[in-house]
Structure 1
């Protein structure tokens, strides 16, 4: 009987920790989307945003691909940029645009 109670308490504890970790990952991903989108909105007229939901130990990472505001014409190639979010300082920075011809 005592063994069954111990297993039940352990399962409840582990389930709560998994749910908490999942919520933390979602908050982390949402924060990166928000902070990086602010910077990408300044550079792109339209873009697609992809967030690494786990990041690295110290950083969150997002990637955007789309039309730069500085490019002209409907046939302007898509450009790409990376956003790095520092977990400690909670600041985001973006890279310069990658040359689309070098990303083959």
Structure 2
């Protein structure tokens, strides 16, 4: 009986991370990454908007932030959100114009 209870306890404990990373938790995570990345890009872009990877990597939230850059052209930056410290880092402006190889 003790072995059975121990096995049940292990299974239940193993399921806890799955419950913690459910819909509401992921929605909260996406909102936090979006808010942080848009705030970080406000000095770089006019009207920044973020597209957030809904899960990120193991340690980081990831987003692409677009907006109108200093040149007046639409540009993008990559934003990395540290899941542990909840701080962000942004890269430099990337030109998002599409070119054809034809």
TM over 0.5: yes
- Gaps in structure 1 of 5+ consecutive residues: 1-13
3-state SS in 1 of match to 2:43? helix
- Relative to structure 1, the CA distance from residue 19 to residue 84 in structure 2 (aligned partners, 3 Å threshold; closer, same or farther) is closer
Pick the structure with more helix per residue.
1
Q: 1:26 to 1:61 in 2, by over 3 A?
A: same
Partner of 1:29: helix, strand, or coil? helix
Superposition map of 1:38-57 within 5 A: 38-57=39-58
Q: Which runs of 5+ in 2 are unaligned?
A: 1-14
Which runs of 4 or more aligned residues in structure 1 lie more than 2 Å from their structure 2 counterparts after TM superposition?
17-20
* C-alpha distance after superposition, 1:14-54 (max 9, x if no partner): 9xx66961111011111101111111111111233211111
CA RMSD of aligned residues (A): 2.2
Superposition pairs of residues 49-68 of structure 1, within 5 angstroms: 49-68=50-69
Name the TM-score, length of structure 2 as normaliser.
Answer: 0.69
